[in-house]
Chain A
Amino acid sequence: NAGVMQNPRHLVRRRGQEARLRCSPMKGHSHVYWYRQLPEEGLKFMVYLQKENIIDESGMPKERFSAEFPKEGPSILRIQQVVRGDSAAYFCASSPRTVQDNEQFFGPGTRLTVL
């Protein structure tokens, strides 16, 4: 049973370009969460999605950032017109159910570097 998968693992973009980060949840999991980790800091919640629905995007900047989880295919976190401050590790996690005490399992992360 494959774990949470993310690609690419490393992404380099120049300022002003777009970054697309992909996340495939564990088999049987329909809930996806995106977190951002700045260097030597903890993880900060960005957005929570279920298939075809954004449930909570309270942690995601309102401009330049968007997320989706289509009926078919991976969840995508999209960052438009990247700036140096977007450089971070972006992790997604998945869980099998929606109750509060659900276990979240993390993918390997995408390390975004903005030049």
Chain B
Amino acid sequence: GENVEQHPSTLSVQEGDSAVIKCTYSDSASNYFPWYKQELGKRPQLIIDIRSNVGEKKDQRIAVTLNKTAKHFSLHITETQPEDSAVYFCAAPPANDYKLSFGAGTTVTVRA
């Protein structure tokens, strides 16, 4: 199966600074990498995803990069705002599979 590791487990940043979360995966044939944001007591919400045919994808202040050779992908949040405070999860399905293996999550706190 797929093994996804996520770092750091907690991240505190000053408002306006950038936040970076990194994940590694084990199955070299995986080709889909979503990121979810979960606010306290709420559902995980898909915020961005990337497929293996591209190395980077950006959506306003959020970007994801993928390095297939090294088997890692990262979430970048620029110009952080208090509403970015949440737990962020990376995920990946094993090759030829559909169930998502999630990282353990990163609790991001944006200090005003």
Chain A residues with a Cβ under 8 A of chain B: 4, 31, 33, 35, 41-45, 48, 56, 58-59, 91, 95, 98-109
What residues on B are CB-neighbors of A42 within 8 Å? 89, 102-105
Instruction: Name the residue of chain B whose CB is nearest to the CB of A46.
Output: B99
B residues 63-98 near A (Cβ < 8 Å) are: 89, 93, 95-98
Q: Is B18 an interface residue (CB 8 A)?
A: no
Chain B residues with a Cβ under 8 A of chain A: 31-32, 34, 36, 42-46, 49, 51, 89, 93, 95-105
| Interface SS, A side | loop
A106 to B44, CA, bound (A): 6
| Interface SS, B side | loop
> How near does chain B come to A56, taking the closest CB pair, in angstroms?
6
A105 to B42, CA, bound (A): 13
What residues on B are CB-neighbors of A107 within 8 Å? 43
Q: Which of A4, A35, A103 contacts B49 (CB 8 A)?
A: A103
Cβ–Cβ contact B100 & A104, under 8 A: yes
Can you identify 25 A-B contacts, CB atoms within 8 angstroms? A33-B98, A42-B89, A42-B102, A42-B103, A42-B104, A42-B105, A43-B44, A43-B89, A43-B100, A45-B99, A45-B100, A48-B98, A58-B99, A59-B99, A100-B93, A100-B95, A100-B96, A101-B93, A103-B46, A103-B49, A104-B34, A105-B46, A106-B45, A107-B43, A109-B43
Cβ–Cβ contact B99 & A91, under 8 A: no
> How near does chain B come to A90, taking the closest CB pair, in angstroms?
12
A44 to B101, CA, bound (A): 7
What residues on B are CB-neighbors of A108 within 8 Å? 42-43
